Amino acid sequence: MRKILGVSAAALLVAACGGPDAEGTFETEDGETGTYEIDAEGGESNITVTGEDGEQVTINTGSDVDADLPEGYSVYPGASVISATNITQGDGQGSMVLMQSDDSPEELVKFYRAQAEAAGIAIQMEVNVNGSSMVGGEGANGETFSFSASPNGDGTSGQLIVGSAGLGQ
């Protein structure tokens, strides 16, 4: 299934670049085959990738997509969502949110670290380099979390990624 996620990522890149509606087939380096469909309309793309065993990955992404965050997570107060991506695969689900805030990277990281810890995430990594910060960890049931923030001319750019167990397994 990780191979299907890789193909899904490629399809996501096509859609993110404003690619047109498309459908087709693919073959992995191990000879697995599957199909994909991209439905791009306005600020949203819907992608479905189906593997040869019938397993499916669905991706909903774009500037007009509402983030489908797990319980306990929210968009940073006052931040503008630039884009959101929601991925569903079997019993797994994940979201990525790109945002912009007037607050500092440290404030955003503190906010998301607190949300992650309240959700049972054990923080396993924290990095601070040249004003940019990143924090990440994993939950007891395989949940994943990472948040990165970097200063820019307009404040702070942030990227939140959260996923439940089963995504990519």
The pLDDT-based confidence of 7 (bands split at 50, 70, 90) is: very low
> Which pLDDT does position 10 carry in this prediction?
47
- One-letter identity of residue 123: I
The reply to whether 87 and 158 lie within a common domain is yes
> Which pLDDT does position 91 carry in this prediction?
79
Placement of tokens 């793309």 in the chain = 45
pLDDT digits (tens, 9 = 90+) for 138-161: 999 989 999 999 999 889 999 999
Q: Single out the residue in 9, 33, 58 at which a domain terminates.
A: 58
Over residues 14-38, the mean pLDDT reads 64
Using the predicted structure, report yes or no on whether residue 132 has a pLDDT greater than 50: yes
Over residues 54-63, the mean pLDDT reads 84
The reply to whether 31 and 53 lie within a common domain is yes
Which is higher by pLDDT, 5 or 44?
A: 44
* Domain count along the chain: 2
The reply to whether 81 and 140 lie within a common domain is yes
Q: How many residues comprise the chain?
A: 169
Using the predicted structure, report yes or no on whether residue 111 has a pLDDT greater than 50: yes
Average pLDDT in the chain: 82
- How many Cα atoms occupy the beta-carbon half-sphere of 131 within 13 Å? 9
DSSP-assigned states of every residue in 7-27: HHHHHHHHHHTTPPPEEEEEE
The pLDDT-based confidence of 37 (bands split at 50, 70, 90) is: low
The reply to whether 74 and 119 lie within a common domain is yes
The reply to whether 162 and 109 lie within a common domain is yes
Q: How many CB atoms lie within 10 A of CB 92?
A: 19
- How many Cα atoms occupy the beta-carbon half-sphere of 95 within 13 Å? 17
pLDDT digits (tens, 9 = 90+) for 69-101: 998 999 999 999 999 999 998 878 999 999 999
Using the predicted structure, report yes or no on whether residue 167 has a pLDDT greater than 80: no
The reply to whether 101 and 124 lie within a common domain is yes
The reply to whether 14 and 78 lie within a common domain is no
For the ranges 25-39, 53-67, 102-116, the lowest mean pLDDT is seen at 25-39
Over residues 57-76, the mean pLDDT reads 90
The reply to whether 86 and 158 lie within a common domain is yes
Enclosing domain of residue 74: 66-169
The reply to whether 94 and 151 lie within a common domain is yes
Distance CA 43, CA 68 (A): 16
Q: Single out the residue in 33, 58, 83 at which a domain terminates.
A: 58
CATH number of the domain to which 167 belongs:
3.30.160
Phi, psi of 111 (to 5 degrees): -60, -50
The pLDDT-based confidence of 49 (bands split at 50, 70, 90) is: confident
The reply to whether 16 and 74 lie within a common domain is no
Distance CA 124, CA 134 (A): 11
Q: Single out the residue in 38, 58, 78 at which a domain terminates.
A: 58
> Left (φ > 0), alpha (ψ -120 to 50) or beta: where does 50 sit?
beta
* Torsion angle of the four alpha carbons 113, 119, 123, 125, in this order, in degrees rounded to the nearest 10: -60
The reply to whether 54 and 72 lie within a common domain is no
